[in-house]
Amino acid sequence: MAGTIPKSLRLDVNNLMADTLGGGYGVDAGAVERWRPRAEAALKAVQSSRGQGWLGWMDLPAQPESLLDDIEAMAERIRLNYDAFVLLGIGGSALGPICVNEALRPPRYNELPKARRGGPRMYFEDNIDPERMASLRAVVDFRDACFNVITKSGGTAETMSQYLYVRDALRDNPRWRDQVVATTSGVKGLLLDIARLEGLKTFVIPEGVGGRFSELCPVGLLAAAVGGADIRALLKGAADMDARCATPELWKNPALLEAALMAVASVEMGRNIQVMMPYADSLRMVSNWFVQLWAESLGKLVNRAGAVVNAGQTPVGALGVTDQHSQLQLYSEGPFDKVITMMKVETFREETAIPRAPEDYPGDIRFLGGLTHSQLIEAERFGTEYALTRAKRMNQTIILPEVSEYTLGQLLYFFEMVTAYMGELLDVDAFNQPGVEASKIATYAKLGHPAERYAEARSALAAAPERDARYII
């Protein structure tokens, strides 16, 4: 309709293609055709199993109204009663909430006066650095804070150590339990046991929803609603993207097309790195969220038949325009091993005009006067795209008409679907993370955890040779 902005996310892959970059540098039509049968099989495998097994997250766009009502009511209670909301979680139990809150809340939200915020200050504690832990006490009055402890497995050492720290700090308040919300499995796990023991308010992470696919369940929805977001619009965006990503026609299905192109780029063309570069501060943490999704899902030792494949395209986060001044040199002239994915926002929620400069200023500075910063940021994004394309570097752009709950829901769900299809195309299990387990076991063994399951690791650590002093200088 004339005058209205289409709110659908768009994917512009022109600059991935051989038609644009030239043969040898871009994906040619023959490669897409070679991968088409595998893409069709991927679509069939994912769509025919939707909601089942580890595809439980595909049900999240259509969650029961009663659950959404419960989340919104809890969020409203937190918004009205607390000065701070503190999320305790790590990995998939933190990155989604961080990325959605950064995208949807005003910039510098915590520093705004309470009347402008309309809700509590928000802190996302996804590390256990003691300096950071201690500093939280310096800026948050724990008596006036609500803590949302999130762990799907229920036993993650980082998160549970934070819970113990908070619980201890609150111990003088006989009503401390009112200040804690537990988000965890509804079936098993230590946090579930503790929540039952203490009588904590609990939200359930559905079975079949892995950490990095959990943003659209209570893991992310509660924090989003506390931050003032319309969670129903977020889910509507995801639902609409879900419909687009279920379409059988490759060139009309953005996630399937993107997965097929990334498979060609990485498997056939050695583009083993993907740089995620939004041109909007609000989307900066979408890169971090994507990095985990892509890395943990697709970086795998073996394929589903057990053969060693060492799969995965390395994701790298960048921010436009900031990182034009740190990374772009490499991307334009370094190895041909990357795809650069930019995100473009068509309409920013705020605008700042660049004032006219005095007449006696140099011409290059006076030229900027009268433009807006959104014009400048888009011109810089265009400049990057132009330079990369001229240097025959594969690049693509995801276009968001605006940053809103609806477009963000589309964006996150799009990436989840690309990841699911990509797992099929690479023939790896996109939903496990065995490479993370080894470090968790070694951590407990190092701390001397007495359980039998750490015995082998304890012995291995005890038998390990001393570090060679020659190599420590």
Binding site for ligand PA5 (CB under 6 A): 90-93, 151-153, 156, 159, 210-212, 296, 433
Tokens of 328: 């772009």
Q: Which of 325, 350, 359, 466 does the annotation list as catalytic?
A: 325
Active site residue 72: no
d(CA 281, CA 264): 30
Q: Which of 102, 158, 296, 416 does the annotation list as catalytic?
A: 296
Q: Shortest Cβ distance from residue 381 to ligand PA5 (Å)?
A: 30
Q: Shortest Cβ distance from residue 94 to ligand PA5 (Å)?
A: 8
Active site residue 325: yes
Q: Which is nearer to ligand PA5, 45 or 190 (CB)?
A: 190
Q: What is the dihedral of CA 195, 199, 204, 210, to 10 degrees?
A: -10
Active site residue 296: yes
Q: Shortest Cβ distance from residue 171 to ligand PA5 (Å)?
A: 24
Query: Measuring CA to CA, which residue among 229, 259, 254, 258 is closest to residue 242?
Result: 254
CA 446 to chain centre: 30
- Residue whose CB is nearest to ligand PA5 in the complex, by number: 211
Q: Shortest Cβ distance from residue 156 to ligand PA5 (Å)?
A: 3
Q: Shortest Cβ distance from residue 334 to ligand PA5 (Å)?
A: 30
Q: Which is nearer to ligand PA5, 205 or 388 (CB)?
A: 205
Q: Which is nearer to ligand PA5, 60 or 403 (CB)?
A: 60
Q: Which is nearer to ligand PA5, 91 or 278 (CB)?
A: 91
Q: Which is nearer to ligand PA5, 217 or 260 (CB)?
A: 217
Which residues does the annotation mark as catalytic?
296, 325, 440
